[in-house]
């Protein structure tokens, strides 16, 4: 199936020249090629060469992902696969960065203009210090990370994330990069049709990709997106305004927000937790519990735990930890999220993992490059380790705060 998915334009998005667009399109193709053609070669290489060599050397078969990795890193096929992945990531950011650099003052001016015309709040506190796990290195090799500023009112890394993530996901998350949020909202509409959140908080929202569907599908709710990256928050606010959606954004740490107790009916996050730390994750769960009203729900859409997978699958997935500046990626999958939720104050009986089916099919009719057939192919794949986006849907951790908790206390 040819992937011709195209990102939808919006007023805050950087505009690419013909050559810039071709450069970017190549990186998307390269990622697709690695996934469709190089990735499937790893299993036979492991089975026919690496596992046998390991057994010969150690007198036993590889037992876990560390054993598998210790053998695979010496194999030339794996070296090419891993190097190609890393280079694709670097080319991807560079292809977008060059385009943003050319038009940065104009993009900043445009974002300022969009934000100024919006009614929704934009909160950037003076002297905010982002946590070290975000600034110590540039997560997923994105130059500048989420927080760097190179100009007044800078939005550059926000713009970089918006376009770069589209290429990274190869369009699998839809023309507006919003499949995760859209899928969780669909899940709620299906499983909790009477749930009408008055206030919604999206933690670690970056540029608001997943935040906006909540406003779209719960138009009467007050929606807040928070993130530690100032340029991301500014860009998110301008982007939402460009879509005509009234969503509030604030630069804030999900470990310690400034919202009052029991303020929100729904607290969500999307691919946030694996970019935090072993110390921050329990604090984020506790903070979500604190700001949730009785009867409210906490939903984290992130990576499924390792204990559900075989060692070879774990090994493939853990490549992100080793090669893509994702230091917490593997460790997060070893965390006991039930225990974390319980420690945060939730009852174990009110906590579960479930799958929110991908909403990508909804895009098929309207969006450029999204044929019905290709969208179906993305949504209905089986899970394959190392492919972007799980087949079947997104793994979600759901915890509900009981209604009677307030009465009992």
Partner 1 sequence: MSGIDMTEAERPHVIRHARGKRPQFYDTPGMDQAMSMIMVLANEMAVLRDRLDSAERVAKASGLDLAAGIEALELDQAALEEREERRQDFMRRLSTCN
Q: Where are the beta strands (DSSP E) in 102-217?
A: 122-123, 199-203
> Taking CB under 8 A as the rule, does residue 116 contact partner 1?
no
Q: How far is the CB of 349 from partner 1 (least distance, A)?
A: 41
The site map against partner 1 for 218-237 (x = CB under 8 A) is --------------------
Q: Beta strand 394-400 with 199-203: parallel, antiparallel or unpaired?
A: unpaired
Contact segment (CB under 8 A) with partner 1 among 11-19, 51-59, 282-290, 400-408 equals 11-19
DSSP 15-37: PPPHHHHHHHHHHHHHHHHIIII
Neighbours of 189 (CB within 10 A): 12
* From 26, 195, 383, 388, residue interacting with partner 1 (rule: CB under 8 A): 26
> Taking CB under 8 A as the rule, does residue 48 contact partner 1?
no
Q: Which is nearer to partner 1, 107 or 203 (CB)?
A: 107
Q: How far is the CB of 71 from partner 1 (least distance, A)?
A: 15
CB-based contacts of 356, cutoff 8 Å, min separation 6: 183, 184, 186, 187, 301, 393, 394, 396
Applying the rule CB under 8 A, the residues between 56 and 115 that interact with partner 1 are: 76-77, 79-80, 82-84, 86-88, 90-91, 93-95, 97, 100-101, 103-106, 108-109
Q: How far is the CB of 87 from partner 1 (least distance, A)?
A: 5
**Contact assessment for residue 328 and residue 133, using Cβ atoms and an 8 Å cutoff:** yes
Distance CA 370, CA 364 (A): 5
Distance CA 358, CA 350 (A): 24
CB-based contacts of 116, cutoff 8 Å, min separation 6: none
Applying the rule CB under 8 A, the residues between 387 and 406 that interact with partner 1 are: none
For residue 50, what is the DSSP state?
I
Contact positions toward partner 1, by CB under 8 A? 2-4, 6, 17-19, 22-23, 25-27, 29-30, 32-33, 36-38, 41, 45, 76-77, 79-80, 82-84, 86-88, 90-91, 93-95, 97, 100-101, 103-106, 108-109, 136-138, 141-145, 148, 150-151, 154, 156-157, 160, 322-323, 325, 369, 371
């Amino acid at each position: 199936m040819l992937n011709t998915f195209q990102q939808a334009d919006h007023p805050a998005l950087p505009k690419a020249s013909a050559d810039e667009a071709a450069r970017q399109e190549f990186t998307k193709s390269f990622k697709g090629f690695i996934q469709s053609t190089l990735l499937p070669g790893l299993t036979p290489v492991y089975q026919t060469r690496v596992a046998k060599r390991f057994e010969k050397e150690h007198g036993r078969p590889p037992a876990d992902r560390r054993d598998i990795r210790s053998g695979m890193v010496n194999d030339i096929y794996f070296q090419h696969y891993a190097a190609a992945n890393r280079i694709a990531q670097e080319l991807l950011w560079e292809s977008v960065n060059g385009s943003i650099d050319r038009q940065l003052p104009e993009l900043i001016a445009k974002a300022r203009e969009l934000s100024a015309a919006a009614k929704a709040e934009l909160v950037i506190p003076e002297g905010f210090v982002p946590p070290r796990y975000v600034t110590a290195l540039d997560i997923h090799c994105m130059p500048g990370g989420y927080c760097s500023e190179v100009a007044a009112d800078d939005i550059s890394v926000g713009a970089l994330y918006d376009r770069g993530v589209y290429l990274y996901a190869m369009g699998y998350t839809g023309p507006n990069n919003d499949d995760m949020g859209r899928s969780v909202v669909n899940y709620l509409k299906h499983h909790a049709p009477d749930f009408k959140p008055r206030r919604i908080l999206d933690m670690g929202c970056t540029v608001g990709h997943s935040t906006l569907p909540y406003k779209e599908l719960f138009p009467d709710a007050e929606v807040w997106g928070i993130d530690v990256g100032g340029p991301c928050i500014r860009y998110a606010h301008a982007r939402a305004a460009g879509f005509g959606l009234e969503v509030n954004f604030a630069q804030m740490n999900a470990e310690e927000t400034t919202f009052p107790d029991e303020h929100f009916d729904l607290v969500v996050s999307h691919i946030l937790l694996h970019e935090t730390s072993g110390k921050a994750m329990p604090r984020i769960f506790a903070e979500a519990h604190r700001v949730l009203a009785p009867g409210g729900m906490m939903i984290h859409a992130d990576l499924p735990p390792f204990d559900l997978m075989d060692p070879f699958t774990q090994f493939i997935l853990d490549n992100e930890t080793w090669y893509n500046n994702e230091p917490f990626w593997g460790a997060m999958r070893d965390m006991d999220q039930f225990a974390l939720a319980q420690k945060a104050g939730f009852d174990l009986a009110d906590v579960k993992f479930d799958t929110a089916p991908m909403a990508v099919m909804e895009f098929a009719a309207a969006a450029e490059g999204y044929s019905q057939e290709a969208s179906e192919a993305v949504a209905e794949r089986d899970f394959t380790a190392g492919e972007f986006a799980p087949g079947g849907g997104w793994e979600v951790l759901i915890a509900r705060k009981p209604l009677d908790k307030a009465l009992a206390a």
